[in-house]
Structure 1
Amino acid sequence: MEPVRTCVGCRGRASRAALIRVVQHNDELVFDERAVMPGRGAWLHPTSECLDAALRRRAFARALRVSPSLDFPEAATAQITERYIHRNKG
């Protein structure tokens, strides 16, 4: 049975393989492409709707139990949008 995780954007449940993992690294939020980095992880569907909802609600800070001021650098948001969201659109 495959592990199930909850998306921090839409709060929907999905298999671990269907989500991407976000962790805190050097006081920044980064996408853990292989899902092996140490520490708490927040899981996200690879859709622009879930990413926007998570950023708007500051869900990453709550899920990772870090400072609410910690957010994605603009470059990281652009990277994830290009690498995951556009690739999975259709």
Structure 2
Amino acid sequence: MVKRQRTVPACPPGSGPVRTCVGCRARARAGELLRVAVVDGNLVLDLRRRIHGRGAWIHPDPDCLGMAERRRAFPRALRVPGPLDVTAVAEGLARVLSAQVGPGPTRTEQEHRRQVDPS
């Protein structure tokens, strides 16, 4: 009988889909980002990632939300005409951040740590 070797997965464990934050334009795993979608012309936070249609991804950081709003990134990423109101997303983001266990570093702090030269 011929013994077959175990198959090697194409992706290493722990990897997954990679998305780009519309605020800071940094790439991150989809699990680290929040999905935003348009429902009946309103911008909403899609925490379950189940809303049909085009979605945009953003870090759970108010700075990234502010950058996305200044750059008018949501209408462009979601391909909808006209400006979109981000107040519902800002409120949802505040709820998500208050529900997190323990204070974690913000996106800005993470970038600063990455850019500091250890020497």
- TM bucket normalised to smaller: 0.7 to 0.9
Aligned 8 A contact 2:19 2:57 in 1 = yes
Shift of 1:68: 2.7
* C-alpha distance in structure 2 between counterparts of 1:59 and 1:89, whole Å: 28
- TM-score where L is the length of structure 1: 0.87
Within 5 A, what are the aligned runs for 1:1-90? 1-72=15-86, 74-80=87-93, 82-86=94-98, 87=100, 89-90=103-104
Aligned 8 A contact 1:47 1:89 in 2 = no
Supply the AA of the counterpart residue of 1:55: E
- The structure richer in strand per residue is 1
Distance 1:84 1:14, change over 3 A: same
Distance 1:89 1:43, change over 3 A: farther
Supply the AA of the counterpart residue of 2:90: T
Structure showing greater radius of gyration is 2
Indicate the RMSD between aligned Cα atoms, in angstroms: 1.6
CA deviations on 1:5-34 (whole Å, 9 max, x unpaired) are 000000000000000000000110000001
User: Identity of paired residues, percent?
Assistant: 49
Shift of 1:89: 4.4
For structure 2, the residue ranges without an aligned partner over 5 or more in a row are 1-14, 105-119
Distance 1:23 1:57, change over 3 A: same
Aligned 8 A contact 1:9 1:59 in 2 = yes
- TM-score where L is the length of structure 2: 0.67
* C-alpha distance in structure 1 between counterparts of 2:58 and 2:103, whole Å: 15
